[in-house]
Amino acid sequence: MVQTLAYGAWPSPIDAALAAAHDGRPDFVGFVGEEAWWTEPRPGEGGRRGTLTAGPSV
Protein backbone atom coordinates (compact mmCIF):
# COMPACT_ATOMS: atom_id res chain seq x y z
CA MET A 1 0.00 0.00 0.00
CA VAL A 2 1.27 3.49 -0.85
CA GLN A 3 1.49 5.92 2.05
CA THR A 4 0.57 9.53 1.31
CA LEU A 5 2.25 12.26 3.37
CA ALA A 6 1.91 16.02 3.44
CA TYR A 7 4.22 18.04 1.19
CA GLY A 8 7.72 18.08 2.70
CA ALA A 9 6.87 15.51 5.38
CA TRP A 10 8.30 12.40 3.65
CA PRO A 11 11.50 10.81 4.98
CA SER A 12 14.62 11.46 2.95
CA PRO A 13 18.14 9.99 3.03
CA ILE A 14 19.44 13.49 2.15
CA ASP A 15 19.75 15.82 5.14
CA ALA A 16 21.05 19.39 5.33
CA ALA A 17 24.58 18.30 6.30
CA LEU A 18 24.87 16.00 3.28
CA ALA A 19 23.54 18.64 0.90
CA ALA A 20 25.96 21.26 2.25
CA ALA A 21 28.93 18.88 1.90
CA HIS A 22 28.41 18.55 -1.87
CA ASP A 23 28.16 21.85 -3.66
CA GLY A 24 27.85 19.94 -6.95
CA ARG A 25 28.12 22.98 -9.21
CA PRO A 26 29.95 22.46 -12.48
CA ASP A 27 32.50 25.11 -13.37
CA PHE A 28 34.75 26.00 -16.31
CA VAL A 29 32.30 24.57 -18.85
CA GLY A 30 33.53 24.50 -22.43
CA PHE A 31 33.02 22.71 -25.73
CA VAL A 32 35.47 21.01 -28.07
CA GLY A 33 33.54 20.15 -31.21
CA GLU A 34 30.44 18.31 -29.97
CA GLU A 35 31.99 17.34 -26.62
CA ALA A 36 31.21 19.23 -23.44
CA TRP A 37 34.00 19.52 -20.85
CA TRP A 38 33.69 20.81 -17.29
CA THR A 39 35.12 20.53 -13.80
CA GLU A 40 33.13 19.55 -10.75
CA PRO A 41 33.97 19.68 -7.05
CA ARG A 42 34.98 16.56 -5.15
CA PRO A 43 34.55 17.63 -1.49
CA GLY A 44 35.06 14.07 -0.25
CA GLU A 45 38.49 14.01 -1.90
CA GLY A 46 40.09 16.90 -0.09
CA GLY A 47 38.40 19.56 -2.19
CA ARG A 48 39.99 18.65 -5.52
CA ARG A 49 38.07 19.14 -8.75
CA GLY A 50 37.49 16.43 -11.35
CA THR A 51 37.52 17.03 -15.11
CA LEU A 52 34.61 15.42 -16.93
CA THR A 53 33.39 15.16 -20.50
CA ALA A 54 30.26 14.10 -22.35
CA GLY A 55 29.59 13.91 -26.01
CA PRO A 56 29.45 11.69 -29.06
CA SER A 57 32.84 10.04 -28.56
CA VAL A 58 32.22 9.17 -24.91
pLDDT, position 1? 85
Helix (H) / strand (E) element for 29: namely: strand 27-32
pLDDT, position 51? 92
12-56: pLDDT as tens digits? 888 777 776 666 678 889 999 989 999 988 877 877 889 999 887
- Do the Cβ atoms of 36 and 29 come closer than 8 Å? yes
Q: What is the amino acid identity at position 9?
A: A
10 vs 32: which has the higher pLDDT:
32
pLDDT, position 37? 93
Three-class SS state of 38: strand
pLDDT, position 21? 67
